[in-house]
């Protein structure tokens, strides 16, 4: 393996026997295999431990770490606690890239190769992913999940280790997979998801549906947006935009209930005031000019922060704010 292409996968999982073989097989087929893959079995009570033992005998890069069963699935903070439990068992400095990978995905063969090549071509690209697709339960058609271009997807958070360290890693809150990308942009890094065919992956369980159904997932997401510091006007616009998405109407209602129920009871918010100012300025720009143009503008505006820290001049392309290089 090229010493500059060493990547570490860390996968928290619990009771994933239904899907886990698909993920294990798709990683085993990668054109560039991981240098190490740490799967954290977070107290599974189904066949997950047995399946992991089977694959650990076959895959030399696979290590299984087990945590005590706490009696229930925990999303958001619980997932990140399990992630750090696994990450703490290895020296991150041995790797160039890090990926928090869910165990309900089916990845294309060149997935990680494609992400690495994009990062090699763009020094400012700090985190990226492909786009998730899923099989529609009624039509059985393959359809894309609703996710923007400006965030790496939480199910497959691929990071340059340097960027991961600079942003301080993941916060142990529900909105960990939004805060990280905004913090990266604050520091001049580029974050994004790519819908190129070679990077489209199959999400075997729709996002936000793993804990007590899609309604609970949308309510949880709304609470996370409140915690992160999203303004009520922006989030209302976001919920309206998502009205046609499955589940129609109900998903947006859950988003708004999660946000405003937390606002009414004055739930805690992310403590970094500078981050919240940066986020709201970005969201205002999104409302005025659209998310794509606003993201391009903030990438160009924050480029000087990255260059001051890393000492490299922009050489056109996405380093100067162009979207094409992702």
295 lies in a domain? no
pTM of the model: 0.91
Domain limit, last residue, from 203, 235, 260 = 203
Same domain, 169 and 261: no
303 lies in a domain? no
pLDDT band at 318 (very low <50, low <70, confident <90, very high): very low
Q: How many domains does the chain have?
A: 2
Same domain, 89 and 226: no
Q: Which of 48-57, 128-137, 204-213 has the highest mean pLDDT?
A: 48-57
Name the residue range of residue 169's domain: 3-203
Same domain, 58 and 198: yes
> What pLDDT shows up at residue 323?
46
Which tokens sit at 174? 């529900």
Domain limit, last residue, from 228, 253, 270 = 270
User: Given strand 132-135, what is the order of strands in its sheet?
Assistant: 105-106, 201-203, 132-135, 142-144
> What pLDDT shows up at residue 108?
98
Between CA 145 and CA 148 the distance in angstroms is 9
Same domain, 188 and 241: no
- Mean pLDDT (the chain) is 92
Same domain, 63 and 196: yes
pLDDT band at 36 (very low <50, low <70, confident <90, very high): very high
Domain limit, last residue, from 221, 239, 270 = 270
Question: Is 205 a residue whose pLDDT tops 90?
Answer: no
Same domain, 95 and 10: yes
Same domain, 79 and 103: yes
Which tokens sit at 157? 């958070």
Same domain, 46 and 79: yes
| pLDDT tens digits for range 165-184 | 999 999 999 899 999 999 99
175 lies in a domain? yes
Do 199 and 130 form a contact (C-beta atoms < 8 A)? Answer: yes
| pLDDT tens digits for range 64-99 | 999 987 666 566 788 999 999 999 999 999 999 999
- Residue 190 β-bridge partners: 125
> What pLDDT shows up at residue 246?
74
Taking residues 149-153, report their average pLDDT: 97
Same domain, 116 and 177: yes
Question: Is 118 a residue whose pLDDT tops 50?
Answer: yes
Which tokens sit at 162? 């340097």
> What pLDDT shows up at residue 317?
39
Do 105 and 130 form a contact (C-beta atoms < 8 A)? Answer: no
Same domain, 86 and 217: no
Same domain, 145 and 236: no
265 lies in a domain? yes
Same domain, 147 and 76: yes
The secondary structure element, H or E, covering residue 100 is strand 97-101
* Peptide bond just before 270 cis, omega within 30 deg: no
pLDDT band at 259 (very low <50, low <70, confident <90, very high): very high
Taking residues 115-143, report their average pLDDT: 95
- Residue 40 β-bridge partners: 12, 65
316 lies in a domain? no
Residue percentage of the chain with pLDDT more than 90: 81
> What pLDDT shows up at residue 138?
84
144 lies in a domain? yes
Find the CATH number of the domain harbouring 95: 3.90.550.10
pLDDT band at 325 (very low <50, low <70, confident <90, very high): low
> What pLDDT shows up at residue 324?
44
């Amino acid at each position: 393996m090229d010493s500059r292409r060493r990547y570490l996968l860390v996968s928290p999982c619990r009771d994933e026997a239904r899907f886990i073989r698909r993920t294990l097989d798709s990683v085993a087929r990668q054109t560039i295999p991981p240098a190490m893959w740490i799967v954290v079995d977070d107290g599974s009570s189904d066949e997950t431990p047995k399946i992991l033992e089977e694959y650990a005998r076959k895959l030399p890069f696979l290590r299984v770490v087990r945590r005590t069963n706490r009696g229930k699935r925990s999303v958001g903070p619980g997932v990140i606690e399990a992630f750090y439990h696994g990450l703490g068992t290895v020296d991150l400095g041995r790797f160039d890239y890090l990926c928090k990978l869910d165990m309900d995905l089916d990845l294309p063969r060149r997935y990680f190769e494609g992400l690495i090549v994009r990062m090699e071509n763009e020094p400012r690209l700090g985190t990226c992913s492909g786009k998730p697709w899923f099989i529609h339960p009624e039509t059985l058609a393959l359809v894309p999940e609703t996710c923007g271009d400006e965030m790496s997807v939480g199910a497959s958070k691929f990071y340059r280790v340097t960027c991961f360290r600079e942003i301080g890693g993941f916060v142990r809150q529900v909105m960990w997979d939004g805060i990280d990308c905004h913090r990266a942009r604050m520091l001049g890094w580029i974050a994004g998801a790519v819908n190129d065919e070679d990077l489209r992956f199959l999400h075997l369980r729709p996002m936000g549906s793993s804990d007590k159904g899609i309604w609970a997932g949308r309510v949880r997401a709304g609470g996370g947006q409140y915690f992160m510091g999203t303004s009520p006007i922006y989030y209302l616009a976001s919920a309206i935009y998502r009205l046609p998405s499955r589940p129609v109407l109900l998903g947006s209602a859950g988003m708004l209930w999660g946000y405003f129920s937390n606002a009414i009871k004055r739930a805690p918010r992310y403590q970094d005031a500078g981050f919240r100012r940066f986020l709201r300025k970005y969201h205002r720009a999104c409302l005025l000019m659209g998310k794509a143009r606003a993201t391009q503008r903030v990438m160009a505006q924050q480029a000087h922060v990255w260059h001051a820290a890393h000492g490299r001049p922009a050489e056109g392309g996405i380093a100067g704010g162009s979207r094409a290089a992702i």
